[in-house]
Structures are given as structure tokens and as C-alpha cells.
Chain A
Amino acid sequence: MTVALVATAIVVLALLGELLMPWADRQLDARRNRKRAAGERIPGYDPGRERRAEQKARELLRSCVNDEEWAMYRDLGFLRVWGGRAGGPEAGQDFGGAPYAYLIYPHKPIVAYLPQTRQLLNEYCVEFPDETRPYGSARLPDSDDVLAKWMALKADETRLISAANMHLPGRQVDPKQVARDLWRLSQWERERLALERRQAAPKT
């Protein structure tokens, strides 16, 4: 009788062990993961810190671009950079020598267009991800993103365009928005030119 009870108890314990071991493993794993996450805690989003970073980024941008470009970004929220390749942004294109340019928006694709006709050519989607994610985000401040695109386009247009994902216009940036921005840019340039003429005119 005793032997039978002991044998039954052993069987019951073995079955319980089979049932409980995976549960115990899961509990231990979860505990380990919680401890690891607590040790590697990434600071959360802090609006004040992001605002300070953006202010510094604007100062840096201002110190790198010329006065007209800075005023354009300050007033309109984007930069225009003239293209420097003979045939256009893409190999095999030929616009008969017409100049082309890019619109640089913060954290949006670069838009290539023909200023004479305002025809949109392509969108170039490019990012500058910081994989170390110092504050849990890979995104640069807005003005740093614009400056990175500006420097890369100015210094090595071919390299940046090659690194980007090219799309037809309208994929991410609304063509109506771009058309409005190009109109705003033309108005802005006209006003700026008029102001310069008034300032340069001899006073009577």
C-alpha cells in the first residue's frame, strides 16, 4: 500500500513538473526581460529638449547657408537648391539645358522640378537615421535634416540622389502643396527683389 502511494506521488509530481516547468521558464524569462529593459531604459520624448535641439539646429543651419537661403527657410519652411548635373537629376534625362532645382523640406522627400515650367520631375526619399537612437528616436531635428540634405546635395549631388529612393511626383508630397510652395517662392522672390531695389535706389 505504501509503495503504491509513493509511486503515485512520484507520478503526480512528475506530471506536475511537466506542466509547471514551461510556466516557470516563461516567468523567469519575463522577469529577466523586465530587468534588462529597466537597465537600458531609453529616455522618453521630452518636448523641451526637442525644442532646444531644434533651436540649435536652426542656428547651425543659419551659419552654413547664405542669407537668402536662410530667409527662404525662415519665411517659407523649405529651401531651394539648384541642380548641378548637365542632363538633369537622373541619368538619361535631357531637358535641353534647362536648369532644374530641388525643394528641401524637413523630413519629407526632396522634390526635383523645372523652375521655368514648374514641372515636377521626381521625389527623392532620403533619411539620415542615427541608429544609436540616443533619445529613442532616429530622427534629426527638422533644421538638421534640412542642413544634412543641403550639404549632401551641394557637396555630392550624385551620391545623395543615388542613395535616395526615387519616386514619381505625388508619392509622398502632395503636388498641389508643391505647386502652392512654388507660387509662394515666386512671390517671396518678387517681394525681396522689390525691397532690394527700393533700398538700392538713391534717396531724393
Chain B
Amino acid sequence: MRPGYGEQVIAEGDVEVAEEHEALVTEFRRQLDAGMWAAVPTVSRAGRREAQMVQAFDQIPRDTDRVIFFPRAAGGAR
């Protein structure tokens, strides 16, 4: 998520393919180093829509199809 863009695909790949896995890990780290937060939308067993924050690539659930990066939260107007 970025101002002026909305949703923007920054990397795609199959984690089962070594080269693509490497590229995804690199992009994931680059986004976090740039100060972004990463979240994975999930669905609970009861069918509830939830979200999970991830700080490392191996925390991403294997069955997820996307990770959403958004700017880190900061305190707003004082």
C-alpha cells in the first residue's frame, strides 16, 4: 500500500522454486528494512477474517497467497 498507488504488486513467485523463494525473501527484507510493516490476511477455523503481523519470512503461513506491506504506524496529530 502506497500513497497515490493503492495496492501495488512488488514481487510474485512460488516459494517451492528456489530462485523465486530467494527473490521473495530478498524483497521481504527490503520492505522491512525500508520501515514497512508486513501483515498476512488470514481466515480462522470459524471463518472469521483476521490478520497476522510477520517480522520474518519464515513466519508467513505456508498456505497464504499474499503478504501486505504498509507504512509503520506512528502517533498522529498531538
Q: Which residues of A contact B (CB under 8 A)?
A: 46, 49-50, 52-57, 59-60, 63-66, 69, 109, 125-135, 137-141, 144, 147-148, 150-152, 154-156, 159-160, 163-165, 172
Report yes or no: A155 in contact with B75, Cβ–Cβ below 8 A. Answer: no
Q: Which residues of B contact A (CB under 8 A)?
A: 1-7, 34-35, 37, 39, 41, 47-53, 68, 70-78
Quote the shortest CB–CB distance from A59 to chain B (angstroms). 7
Quote the shortest CB–CB distance from A181 to chain B (angstroms). 19
Residues of chain A with a CB closer than 8 A to B53's CB? 151-152, 155-156, 159
Report yes or no: B3 in contact with A127, Cβ–Cβ below 8 A. Answer: no
Give the docked Cα–Cα distance between A50 and B2 (Å): 11
On whether A60 and B6 interact (CB within 8 A), knowing A126-B75, A160-B73, the answer reads yes
Report yes or no: B77 in contact with A172, Cβ–Cβ below 8 A. Answer: yes
Question: Of B3, B37, B50, B71, which contacts A154 at CB under 8 A?
Answer: B50
Q: Lowest 7 A-B CB distances belong to which pairs?
A: A56-B6, A135-B4, A125-B76, A53-B6, A165-B75, A151-B51, A128-B71
Q: A-B pairs with CB below 8 Å: how many?
A: 125
Residues of chain A with a CB closer than 8 A to B52's CB? 155
Residue of A nearest to B75 (CB): A165
Residue of A nearest to B37 (CB): A152
Give the docked Cα–Cα distance between A136 and B77 (Å): 19
A–B complex contacts, Cβ < 8 Å, 21 sampled: A46-B4, A53-B3, A56-B6, A57-B1, A65-B49, A126-B75, A127-B73, A127-B75, A128-B72, A128-B74, A130-B2, A134-B3, A135-B4, A140-B1, A140-B2, A140-B70, A140-B71, A144-B6, A151-B53, A152-B73, A172-B77
Quote the shortest CB–CB distance from A92 to chain B (angstroms). 20
- The residue in A52, A132, A144 that gathers the most chain B C-beta atoms within 10 A of its C-beta is A144
On whether A141 and B6 interact (CB within 8 A), knowing A57-B1, A65-B49, A131-B35, the answer reads yes
Report yes or no: B7 in contact with A151, Cβ–Cβ below 8 A. Answer: no
Report yes or no: A66 in contact with B5, Cβ–Cβ below 8 A. Answer: no
Residues of chain A with a CB closer than 8 A to B3's CB? 53, 130, 133-135, 137-141
Residues of chain B with a CB closer than 8 A to A172's CB? 77
Report yes or no: A60 in contact with B7, Cβ–Cβ below 8 A. Answer: yes
Quote the shortest CB–CB distance from A87 to chain B (angstroms). 22
Report yes or no: B73 in contact with A128, Cβ–Cβ below 8 A. Answer: yes
Residues of chain B with a CB closer than 8 A to A154's CB? 50-51
